[in-house]
């Protein structure tokens, strides 16, 4: 059993679900380590917050937790994906009375090369620019055509991630990750007021930086700020931290802040510590 | 039988379809009148054009036509919806080798009040502003959260449509329709270079205007241009033309251009003439 739809094992969804028709829903992608989900509470916080912003009624976290445990019990390493849609119904207008659809997937762990985390990755700047909409900014919703098109810009297996700017040229994130830069020992990450996904790992890193007394600010970044940074890294809740070795033609020598954060994050993701 | 999935009667879709995960696909909503689809060729042209822009391989129009006929044979009045997704597959990156998923739905005709077309509608200006992305502009894709949120702004049954502006304040379209305005006997419609859906009915109206020797231009419109217009109307391939009687507090007396176009469009939609 690899999928649960509203609590029942299954492999299919109603053709009338609004998730299909309009991308009217949300998702979470959660690391499972030794049957545990170290960042579960953060994922649930984000899901609840995003659901409220879209006017959806999310299921109780305890219900999702029961189903996640049924699906992932005993998994040494796996990925749990949760999709929450606004349920079935036709037309853009929706009835708040319709119960949402919840779908849980258990996937095998994605074995990214360990050198990505240890020695860093090569990245490129995507040509596609993200549209800006503060109403959707930060939300991990199902409208992901921009990411699909951005990821189709390159085939080179040596390039691990693409950097996305918005229509005004502000730096936002990677196609599947958030971005941090280090300058003069201080950490900066794009404020996601107009677009982008406010990742769970991004939030964790901001909290960890605070604990480690590393200054961390959400700011407006331009491409030049990234190219001139001392250190640059991507992050998400599955990959942890990927230091950037090269962005296009620009190379970054190994830094000091990134490895500190990276070690801490790896410990958390590997279940050596559990942070709620 | 009301739905066909890749040619087979069904009511469900694979949980792994990219239409659900990313809104990675397109749709068409087609009027069926006396078993005919007067605007079929235009819908197929748009579907092919949009699919190419997303890097998808659309099925042959003749295959879709066969399936549409199986589903809608003998329908006096119905709505045919076609969803075309990029098929199943995980991750933003897609393989061009995976066959797309095609889903056809037959819905009952939506009986909008006939007074909407005859006497016009009340409309409002939506607060939500559309994000701008030239890569997605014009495409009838499945990323429709903006429309869902915009349509949730009002409950008043007397308001039939909401006008959408983009982030820069440019007028784009209605939540489920395109927009035209008349000024000094000339027709204008927003150029959809940055957002919006290039509707089949919009294209038909532009062609009909040309036939009737009415000047028609695609331009950048601001809200003031709409408020000060002589005539304003919404259109789509199901409703035909809805003249706007009132937009917020602004009222528009009945005009001359709108009824001329409206009569012509109604003839086409009612199957009294067939335009390919």
CATH number where A143 lies: 3.20.10.10
- Do B103 and B205 reside in the same domain of the chain? no
- Nearest 10 degrees: Cα torsion A113, A116, A119, A120: 160
User: Which of the listed residues B108, B129, B151 is the one where a domain comes to its end?
Assistant: B108
pLDDT at B274 over 50: no
Which residues of chain B make contact with A135, given a CB cutoff of 8 A?
Answer: 128-129, 146, 149
- Do A236 and A203 reside in the same domain of the chain? yes
- Do A198 and A213 reside in the same domain of the chain? yes
Mean pLDDT of A35-61: 95
Q: What are phi and psi of B13, to 5 degrees?
A: -130, 150
Tokens of A259: 């490895």
User: Which of the listed residues A108, A128, A157 is the one where a domain comes to its end?
Assistant: A108
Give the tens place of pLDDT for each residue, B30-81: 999 998 999 999 999 999 999 999 999 999 999 999 999 999 988 999 999 9
- Do A131 and A238 reside in the same domain of the chain? yes
Where do we find the tokens 């000091």? A256
Long-range contacts of A154-158 (CB under 8 A, 24+ apart): A154/A124, A158/A122
| C-beta separation of B97 from B123 below 8 A | no
Which residues of chain A make contact with B15, given a CB cutoff of 8 A?
Answer: 3, 5, 10-13, 103, 105
| Residue B274 counted as domain residue | no
From the list B11, B133, B141, the residue facing A129 with the nearest CB is: B133
Q: Is A217 a catalytic residue?
A: no
- The answer to whether the CB atoms of B144 and A148 lie below 8 A apart is no
Where do we find the tokens 């009612």? B270
| C-beta separation of A154 from A121 below 8 A | no
| C-beta separation of B88 from B18 below 8 A | yes
pLDDT of residue A14: 97
Give the chain A residue whose CA is nearest to the CA of B54: A149
| Residue A33 counted as domain residue | yes
pLDDT at B271 over 70: no
| Residue B100 counted as domain residue | yes
Element holding B146 (H helix, E strand): helix B145-151
pLDDT at B19 over 60: yes
CA pair distance B85, B27, nearest whole angstrom = 9
- Do A154 and A250 reside in the same domain of the chain? yes
Burial class (CB in 10 A: 0-12, 13-18, 19+), B250: middle
pLDDT at A45 over 50: yes
Q: What is the DSSP string of A80-101?
A: EEEEEE--B-SSSS--TTSPPE
Q: Strands, DSSP E only, in chain B?
A: 3-5, 8-9, 12-14, 25-33, 77-85, 101-108, 121-130, 159-166, 171-174, 178-183, 186-190, 216-219, 231-236, 240-247, 250-251
Neighbouring-strand partners of residue B14: A12
HSE of A192 in the Cβ direction (CA atoms, 13 Å)?
22
Which is it for strands A121-130 and A240-247: parallel, antiparallel or unpaired? Answer: parallel
| Residue B139 counted as domain residue | yes
Enclosing domain of residue A240? 114-269
Tokens of B105: 């739905």
pLDDT at B258 over 90: yes
Give the chain A residue whose CA is nearest to the CA of B127: A135
Which residues of chain A make contact with B6, given a CB cutoff of 8 A?
Answer: none
To 5 degrees, how large is the angle CA B270–CA B273–CA B276? 105
Burial class (CB in 10 A: 0-12, 13-18, 19+), B7: middle
Positions of B marked active-site: 29, 140, 173
Q: What are phi and psi of B252, to 5 degrees?
A: -120, 120
- Do B104 and B118 reside in the same domain of the chain? no
Considering the entire predicted model, what is its pTM?
0.96
- Do B136 and B264 reside in the same domain of the chain? yes
| Residue A169 counted as domain residue | yes
Burial class (CB in 10 A: 0-12, 13-18, 19+), B251: exposed
| Residue A22 counted as domain residue | yes
User: Which of the listed residues A108, A127, A156 is the one where a domain comes to its end?
Assistant: A108
| Residue A274 counted as domain residue | no
- Do A160 and A93 reside in the same domain of the chain? no
Residue B77's CATH number: 3.30.470.10
- Do A221 and A207 reside in the same domain of the chain? yes
- Do A219 and A130 reside in the same domain of the chain? yes
| Residue A276 counted as domain residue | no
ipTM over 0.85: yes
- Do B95 and B196 reside in the same domain of the chain? no
pLDDT of residue A271: 59
Q: How many domains does chain A have?
A: 2
- Do B88 and B179 reside in the same domain of the chain? no
Give the tens place of pLDDT for each residue, B127-150: 999 999 999 999 999 999 999 999
């Amino acid at each position: 059993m690899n999928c649960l739809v509203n609590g029942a094992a299954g492999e299919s969804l109603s053709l009338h679900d609004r998730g299909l028709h309009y991308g009217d829903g949300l998702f979470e992608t959660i690391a499972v380590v030794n049957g545990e989900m170290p960042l579960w509470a953060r994922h649930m916080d984000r899901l609840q917050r995003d659901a409220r912003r879209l006017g959806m009624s999310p299921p109780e976290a305890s219900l999702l937790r029961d189903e996640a445990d049924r699906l992932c019990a005993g998994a040494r390493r796996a990925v749990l994906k949760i999709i929450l849609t606004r349920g079935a119904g036709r037309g853009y207008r929706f009835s708040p009375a319709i119960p949402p659809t919840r779908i849980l997937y258990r996937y095998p762990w994605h074995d990214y090369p360990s050198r990505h985390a240890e020695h860093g990755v090569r990245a490129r700047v995507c040509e596609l620019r993200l549209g800006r909409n503060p109403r959707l900014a930060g939300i991990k919703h199902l409208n992901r055509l921009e990411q699909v098109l951005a990821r189709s810009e390159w085939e080179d297996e040596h390039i691990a991630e693409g950097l996305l700017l918005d229509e005004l040229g502000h730096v936002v994130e990677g196609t599947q990750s958030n971005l941090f830069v280090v300058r003069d020992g201080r950490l900066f990450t794009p404020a996601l007021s107009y677009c982008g996904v406010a990742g769970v790992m991004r939030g964790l890193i901001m909290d960890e930086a605070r604990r480690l007394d590393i200054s961390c600010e959400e700011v407006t970044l331009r491409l030049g700020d990234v190219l001139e940074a001392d250190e640059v890294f991507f992050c998400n809740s599955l990959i942890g931290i990927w230091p950037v070795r090269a962005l296009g033609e620009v190379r970054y020598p190994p830094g000091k802040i990134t490895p500190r954060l990276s070690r801490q994050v790896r410990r958390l993701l590997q279940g050596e510590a559990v942070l709620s």
